[in-house]
Amino acid sequence: MKPWPVLSLVLATSFARVVCGESTTQPLGNAVKWQSATLGSAIEGTVLIPPHPAAGAEVLQPTIIYLKNLAIPRLGQEPDESILKDLLADGDLVLVLNYERNPLAVTPGLSADMLKLRQDIGGKTRTLLTNYKVDLDHVFILVEGFRLKRDVEFARDKTRVLGMDVQYPSHPAHSVPTLMEITCDNAHRMGISSLLFCHDTLTDGGMAAGFAVAMIDHPVPPPYKGIDDPMPECIYRLKAAVRTLRSMNADLGLNGKIGAMGFSRGGPMAALLAVTADRPDLEGDGPHQDVSSTVQAALIHGNRYDYLKMQTDDHMYKRFEKVWGPRDANADKWAAHGAFFYLKKNDAAPMFLNTSAAEEKAYQFGLATFDSELTGAGVEHVYQVDPDERGHQVTTDPQTLAEIYAFFQKHLAN
């Protein structure tokens, strides 16, 4: 591991001067320059090394990228100095990037930088923080004024503990809504390889768009084989996550309104939350039973949402048949895995359905079918097939991202 003592002592002394009021400038550290995709120019940055490594991080370091002096309204009113002090005390490696109020440093343009940061830190060709042993499963981006609450437990599956990471504005002037995403990575919810593979900046960009955000563990344990089992236990775990997140409203300054998001294997999970409201038979026996598990809106992407209508030439059909039995003879079992099975107009939250014209045909068919079913049930929703070539990835188009965040603001605002 990279030696701590001399540089850490310098940083700690410098940082103490800052928090004691002797200076309001950025504490001394390792200066870096990073090429911003958003600004089209280099940004000055500082790497801050904690005095002691995080617990259990003797080899790899959890890493925080802190974006300051942006050109968007600051949600969290707590000063940067006290937030950075606590991050370092927790043992996190911190990279502070100073945008110097550049007018381009706004949402949704900042999402391009959030993706590039992960590419440059954990992509095939690393160019950032190469001198540090970064834990690529624990790289977090924080917008100025935001704090991070890690590993909040919401369910257990035998020996597996399901948790979430919550990024929230500290001491906000007003309570804020929350976007909760179901991870695409069953083993590491913040795994940088999965986020890069999907081009997923939904939670990162959500902070810049005015939301607290949370990434939760997928309810299906690894290794994932495309089978969302066991059911209905998966729904129980999803609802436990919503209740747990909502139980922190007062402590974190949240307004109680939650939007669910899911891409790829997370899409059907977000849809299940969107259509099940507070059904008592689907709550399970998890924590915070006195708290509502209803979400107020959802973003879902191409996937299967009605297994009774999926096409027999779908490449997953034989695998489902092997696990669930022949579809005609086991219709209820097949149906219970899809969101349409639980759909009731008065219980369904508004949904934003989004996919690419280059997405896998089975996923396109599944989302188009769900769109027709939502239309028939009179459920408020947006259905958008983007004429792009991104395929099986989250959109990076600024206009589409702006539409998604505006959709959530409409349904989640105070």
To the nearest whole number, what is the mean pLDDT of the chain? 93
pLDDT of res. 3: 38
88-102, pLDDT tens digit by residue? 999 999 999 999 999
Is residue 303 predicted with pLDDT exceeding 80? yes
Using pLDDT thresholds of 50, 70 and 90, give the confidence band for residue 24: very low
Using pLDDT thresholds of 50, 70 and 90, give the confidence band for residue 28: low
Q: Which of the two residues, 1 and 412, has the higher pLDDT score?
A: 412
With respect to CATH, is domain 146-412 assigned 3.40.50.1970? Answer: no
Is residue 59 predicted with pLDDT exceeding 90? no
For 38-50, letters b (16+ CB in 10 Å) and e give: bbeeebebbbbbb
- The distance from CA 236 to its chain's CA centroid, rounded to whole angstroms, is 20
pLDDT of res. 89: 95
pLDDT mean over 297-312: 98
Percent of the chain with pLDDT over 70: 93
Is residue 4 predicted with pLDDT exceeding 50? no
Q: Calculate the CA dihedral of residues 169, 171, 175, 177 and round it to 10 degrees.
A: 10
pLDDT of res. 215: 98
Domain segments of the chain as ranges: 5-141, 146-412
Using pLDDT thresholds of 50, 70 and 90, give the confidence band for residue 57: low
pLDDT of res. 9: 31
Neighbours of 226 (CB within 10 A): 12
Which residue type, as a one-letter code, is found at position 181? Answer: E
Is residue 26 predicted with pLDDT exceeding 50? no
pLDDT of res. 22: 35
Give the C-alpha separation, 219 to 216, whole Å. Answer: 9
282-297, pLDDT tens digit by residue? 999 999 999 999 999 9
Long-range contacts from 287-291, C-beta under 8 angstroms, 24+ separation: 287/154, 287/155, 287/240, 287/243, 287/244, 287/247, 288/240, 288/243, 288/244, 288/246, 288/247, 289/243, 291/243, 291/246, 291/247
Is residue 149 predicted with pLDDT exceeding 90? yes
pLDDT mean over 377-400: 98
pLDDT of res. 58: 66
DSSP-assigned letter for residue 9: H
pLDDT mean over 187-205: 97
Is residue 17 predicted with pLDDT exceeding 50? no
How far the first Cα of the chain sits from its last, in Å, is 47
Give the C-alpha separation, 96 to 278, whole Å. Answer: 42
40-52, pLDDT tens digit by residue? 999 999 999 999 8
Is residue 20 predicted with pLDDT exceeding 60? no
Using pLDDT thresholds of 50, 70 and 90, give the confidence band for residue 56: low
Residue 150, classified by CB atoms within 10 Å of its CB into exposed (0-12), middle (13-18) or buried (19+), is middle
* pTM of the entire predicted model: 0.93
Poorest-confidence range of 28-37, 354-363, 373-382? 28-37
229-243, pLDDT tens digit by residue? 999 999 999 999 999
